[in-house]
Amino acid sequence: MTANGNKMNYKPRETFTSSLGTIAATLGSAIGLGNIWKFPALTGENGGAAFLFIYLFCVVFIGLPVMLAEFIIGRKTRSNAIGAFKKLEPKKPWFLVGWMGVLSSILILAFYTTVVGWILAYIFKALSGSLSGIDANGAVAVFEKVTANPVSAVLWQLAVFALISLIIMAGVQKGIERITKTLLPLLFVLLLICDIRALTLPGAKEGLSFLFNPDFSKVTGMVVLIAMGLSFFKLSIGMGTMLTYGSYMQDEDNMLATAGRVVIADTVVSLMAGMAVFPAVFAFGFEPASGPPLLFFTIPMVFNSMPLGQVFLVLFFVLAFIATIGAMISMLEVPVAFMHEEWGLKRNTAVIVTVLVIASVGSLATLSGSILSHVLILGKNFFDLFDFTASNILMPLGGLIIAVYTGWKIRYKDIQEELSNRGAIEQENMIRLFSLIVRYITPIAILIIMLNGLGIIKF
């Protein structure tokens, strides 16, 4: 910090270096545990295809517009989530949405790193061969062993924090972006192999019809809210991540195209994970509503049933781990960019402060699987509470505020200028459509789904 408390000591803001870099970073943020772990778990718990269809509706009419709105605000202000609104609306409370984003980032990372810890543990289990040849009961037993030991579960989570801090502080983020760029396609290929094996298992058909034949009779307000929450979580929106990444975009980046590609790729990867998991659920006699362990039950079984399975299994968890890095970095970026730009902290100091806060909250989530399993708040353990609060309350609320701001406070001319890169790209109809959706459909849909899901109003 300079003597007058100013923030003049940091370099001009960096931007992503190419439009491919922009897509890689944004996609790196979107693709992660949400696709391979959360999407199958929630789809299984909430009845399958009907949930999937509601989720897809939310992706198109809520997720995509909110992502674009965040890009617009970010690049227009070239600021972090809190600073952006302070710039746009000085002395008005809009910046509070940025604070909600910081809180969401802490809550999500708290339980996200728990699950990444499980992934690390599974890499070692797979390497040691202890997953080879196990049956369905064995798969359940392994998962219980990994999560029920409080000491090792917390140590794995701490290992995740250490790795991620090292990656950020060593300034190798760019390197990671490059690695992600090459390894994400590999993850895609591995999922494809997994899909082919799963779809040829006896009983696969049942899994497919679970995923694609909707039965809307099981849909409740809460199910819709959870589907919407998943779309926020999946696309990293409603908490300022995409706003912050928008602020790093170059003037020439095509935001509509970027958002469109990211949303499509993210959805495809989620569906591919679903097509690997659900056939296996039915083939091996698991419960579709098993919840968080679902991925960890099924994937070892799928690979066990193919040649070279153990090699693929290690590779799968390694790639899954790599996919989570981009997501974790993007979450950390919300508080880190804020502390760096608004409080003048050095980036590394900001990383340490954030990680220390999250690590202490995070162990509560991890210990929910063991010694804290009986501590329930509103009927939920810490793990579920953090997830529910961030995904189904804070992020949708953030998305609502961002959509309202973009639809009603930013002039059409400014939206047009950002999305067309000052007239350089011809896409007037799309821009008009976007501004209509973000003004009316998105905010109304979020509001109705939230009020109905939380039982405040019954439709």
Q: Which of 22, 247, 298, 330 binds ligand PHE (CB under 6 A)?
A: 330
Residue 32 Cβ vs ligand PHE, minimum distance, rounded to whole Å: 2
Residue 349 Cβ vs ligand PHE, minimum distance, rounded to whole Å: 22
32 is an interface residue for ligand PHE by CB under 6 A: yes
246 is an interface residue for ligand PHE by CB under 6 A: no
* CB atoms inside a 10 Å sphere around CB 447: 16
Residue 11: DSSP 8-state: P
327 is an interface residue for ligand PHE by CB under 6 A: yes
241 is an interface residue for ligand PHE by CB under 6 A: yes
Nearer to ligand PHE, 163 or 430 (CB): 163
98 is an interface residue for ligand PHE by CB under 6 A: no
- Do the beta carbons of residue 38 and residue 273 sit within 8 Å? no
- Do the beta carbons of residue 251 and residue 71 sit within 8 Å? no
d(CA 311, CA 303): 9
Q: Which tokens belong to 172?
A: 């190798």
- Do the beta carbons of residue 225 and residue 449 sit within 8 Å? yes
Q: Which tokens belong to 312?
A: 């693929």
- Do the beta carbons of residue 125 and residue 131 sit within 8 Å? yes
The contact mask relative to ligand PHE for 351-390 (x = CB under 6 A, - = no) is ----------------------------------------
State how far the alpha carbon of 119 is from the alpha carbons of 176, 205, 318, 390, 440, in Å. 19, 28, 8, 22, 41
Which residue has the closest beta carbon to ligand PHE? 34
Coil, strand or helix at 208 = helix
230 is an interface residue for ligand PHE by CB under 6 A: no
Residue 234 Cβ vs ligand PHE, minimum distance, rounded to whole Å: 5
272 is an interface residue for ligand PHE by CB under 6 A: no
236 is an interface residue for ligand PHE by CB under 6 A: yes
211 is an interface residue for ligand PHE by CB under 6 A: no
Residue 377: DSSP 8-state: B
Helices assigned H by DSSP within 62-172: 64-77, 81-88, 96-128, 136-148, 150-169
Coil, strand or helix at 380 = strand
Residue 327 Cβ vs ligand PHE, minimum distance, rounded to whole Å: 4
Residue 265 Cβ vs ligand PHE, minimum distance, rounded to whole Å: 12
Distance of CA 425 to the CA centre of its chain: 30
Q: Which of 29, 165, 254, 442 binds ligand PHE (CB under 6 A)?
A: 29
Helices assigned H by DSSP within 149-254: 150-169, 173-199, 204-212, 221-235, 241-247
30 is an interface residue for ligand PHE by CB under 6 A: yes
116 is an interface residue for ligand PHE by CB under 6 A: no
Nearer to ligand PHE, 267 or 420 (CB): 267
d(CA 359, CA 347): 18
Q: At what angle do helices 150-169 and 136-148 cross, to 10 degrees?
A: 70
234 is an interface residue for ligand PHE by CB under 6 A: yes
Nearer to ligand PHE, 29 or 157 (CB): 29
The region of 62-70, 234-242, 347-355, 373-381 touching ligand PHE under the rule CB under 6 A is 234-242
Residue 389 Cβ vs ligand PHE, minimum distance, rounded to whole Å: 13
114 is an interface residue for ligand PHE by CB under 6 A: no
125 is an interface residue for ligand PHE by CB under 6 A: no
The region of 25-33, 63-71, 363-371, 450-458 touching ligand PHE under the rule CB under 6 A is 25-33
80 is an interface residue for ligand PHE by CB under 6 A: no
Q: Which of 33, 68, 198, 419 binds ligand PHE (CB under 6 A)?
A: 33
Residue 233 Cβ vs ligand PHE, minimum distance, rounded to whole Å: 5
226 is an interface residue for ligand PHE by CB under 6 A: no
d(CA 273, CA 39): 8
94 is an interface residue for ligand PHE by CB under 6 A: no
Residue 14: DSSP 8-state: P
Q: Which of 97, 154, 294, 331 binds ligand PHE (CB under 6 A)?
A: 331
Q: Which of 58, 81, 108, 299 binds ligand PHE (CB under 6 A)?
A: 108
- Report the candidate in 321, 358, 306, 315 with the shortest Cα–Cα distance to residue 336: 358
- Report the candidate in 388, 366, 373, 331 with the shortest Cα–Cα distance to residue 116: 366
- Binding residues for ligand PHE, rule CB under 6 A, total 15
d(CA 387, CA 391): 6
- Do the beta carbons of residue 83 and residue 98 sit within 8 Å? yes
What is the phi/psi pair of residue 377, to 5°?
Answer: -120, 125
46 is an interface residue for ligand PHE by CB under 6 A: no
Residues in touch with ligand PHE (CB under 6 A): 29-30, 32-35, 108, 233-234, 236, 239, 241, 327, 330-331
